């Protein structure tokens, strides 16, 4: 997007009703592809590893640090199993992304900073971490994201062949090519996309980001990529400031409630469908719009959060393409349970998707 391009909705859409801001790419460049959709290849695949949890090697940590539930992936898994959504032995385990894969997406200075306590402390927004040794910090913070990025790659590879997939960590949507921030050290979606393309697998991808915070990393990395369409519905007056330019941005007012929130999601879906036809939907399913999340002011109830996730799954079913779901942010005590309930709603919709004949 060239500097100074007008923020005018290409379809005359209604983002101004929420914030006065409209989608950010220039008018006229519709990316609708008439190719047939991928046939459904079911059943849905799940990805998880105990190494997704943060804090290994730093004993005595509380359940939450800076609002972040350190064992959120394993707690999501426990909720899913307890609710009967998925069996305990159904999870495939990934391998961590390599430094070579990191180099295909990220600036060398960002990669080097993954071993620098001061840089990690700034990215995670915990200044006291700067005084800890590099090795245990890497084990506690960096290695979980490298491993989860491997899970996102497997989930997206699975979807590229027609099967819905859920990774119990990932959605590091703030990481840019040259910047780790907002708790996101690396960009797992960009890493997965780059690896798939290197393997000769190219798919048109709709990134539907419904986290509390704008997905600025995805917006910048994919800004000039005609095969990726970025949509973000977020609380406007929060990090990151300034916002980057997604294909569609809808910024919600502070203290917006269920009705306004779900209406914004519907608006984002409708506008995306008018301008892009994907081969897969990548859902950044942050649970932080929830009303008790400490990092925002939105007043979205737990039932509305589940309905949001169900609606995204219905979108994928309507489009006839697979869905990848990633948990992204969420900083309340209830975040693992809310995320698991949403993934359960996705699984219900997926179970009604007609199998390939």
At the topology level of CATH, where does 15-24+38-351 sit? 3.40.800
Model pLDDT, residue 76: 98
What percent of the chain lies above the pLDDT cut of 70? 86
| Closest CA relative to residue 42, chosen from 175, 159, 213 | 159
In whole angstroms, what separates CA 286 from the centre of its chain? Answer: 7
294 in Cβ contact with 332 (< 8 Å): yes
Say what the alpha-carbon torsion angle 137, 141, 147, 153 is, to the nearest 10 degrees.
Answer: -140
For the chain, the C-alpha Rg in angstroms (whole number) is 19
Model pLDDT, residue 335: 97
- Reading the block at residue 345, the tokens are 């709603």
User: What distance in Å separates the CA atoms of residue 66 and residue 119, rounded to the nearest whole number?
Assistant: 17
| DSSP 3-state of 305 | helix
- Reading the block at residue 191, the tokens are 């890493």
User: What distance in Å separates the CA atoms of residue 283 and residue 263, rounded to the nearest whole number?
Assistant: 17
Tell how strand 68-69 and strand 64-65 pair up: antiparallel
C-alpha angle 178-182-185 in degrees, rounded to nearest 5: 50
Q: Please tell me the total number of residues recorded for the chain in this structure.
A: 357
- Could you report the per-residue pLDDT of 262-297, keeping only the tens digit for each? 999 999 999 999 999 999 999 999 999 999 999 999
- Could you report the per-residue pLDDT of 203-229, keeping only the tens digit for each? 999 999 999 999 999 999 999 999 999
Model pLDDT, residue 2: 33
User: Residue 143, Cβ neighbours under 10 Å: how many?
Assistant: 18
47: phi then psi, degrees, rounded to nearest 5: -130, 135
| Closest CA relative to residue 48, chosen from 325, 332, 334, 351 | 325
C-alpha angle 10-13-16 in degrees, rounded to nearest 5: 115
Say what the alpha-carbon torsion angle 268, 271, 272, 277 is, to the nearest 10 degrees.
Answer: 150
336 or 14, which is more confident: 336
pTM (predicted TM-score): 0.89
């Amino acid at each position: 997007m060239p500097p100074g391009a007008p923020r005018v909705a290409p379809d005359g859409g209604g983002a101004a009703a929420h914030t006065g801001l409209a989608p950010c790419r220039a008018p006229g460049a519709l990316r609708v592809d008439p190719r047939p959709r991928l046939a459904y290849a079911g059943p849905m695949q799940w990805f998880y590893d105990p190494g997704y949890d943060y804090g290994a090697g730093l004993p005595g940590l509380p359940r939450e640090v800076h609002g972040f539930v350190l064992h959120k992936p394993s707690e999501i898994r426990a909720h899913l199993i307890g609710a009967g959504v998925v069996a305990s032995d159904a999870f495939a385990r990934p391998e961590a992304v390599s430094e070579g894969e990191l180099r295909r997406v990220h600036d060398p200075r960002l990669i080097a900073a993954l071993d620098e306590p001061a840089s990690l402390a700034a990215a995670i927004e915990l200044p006291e971490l700067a005084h800890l040794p590099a090795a245990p910090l890497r084990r506690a913070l960096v290695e979980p994201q490298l491993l989860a990025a491997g899970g996102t790659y497997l989930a997206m590879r699975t979807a590229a062949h027609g099967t819905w997939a859920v990774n119990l960590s990932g959605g590091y949507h703030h990481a840019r090519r040259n910047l780790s921030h907002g708790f996101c050290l690396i960009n797992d979606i960009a890493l997965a996309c780059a690896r798939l393309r290197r393997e000769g697998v190219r798919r048109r991808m709709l990134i539907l980001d419904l986290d509390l915070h704008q997905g600025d990393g995805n917006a910048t990395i994919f800004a000039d990529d005609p095969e990726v369409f970025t949509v973000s519905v977020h609380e406007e007056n929060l990090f990151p400031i300034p916002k980057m330019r997604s294909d569609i941005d809808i910024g919600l007012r502070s203290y917006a409630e269920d009705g306004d929130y779900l209406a914004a999601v519907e608006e984002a879906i409708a506008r995306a469908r008018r301008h892009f036809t994907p081969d897969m939907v990548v859902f950044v399913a942050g649970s932080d719009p929830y009303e008790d999340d400490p990092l925002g002011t939105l007043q979205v109830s737990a039932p509305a959060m589940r309905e949001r996730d169900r609606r995204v799954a219905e979108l994928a079913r309507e489009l006839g393409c697979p869905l990848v779901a990633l948990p992204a942010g969420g900083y309340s005590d209830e975040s693992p349970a809310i995320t698991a309930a949403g993934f359960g709603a996705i699984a219900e919709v997926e179970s009604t998707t007609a199998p390939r004949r």
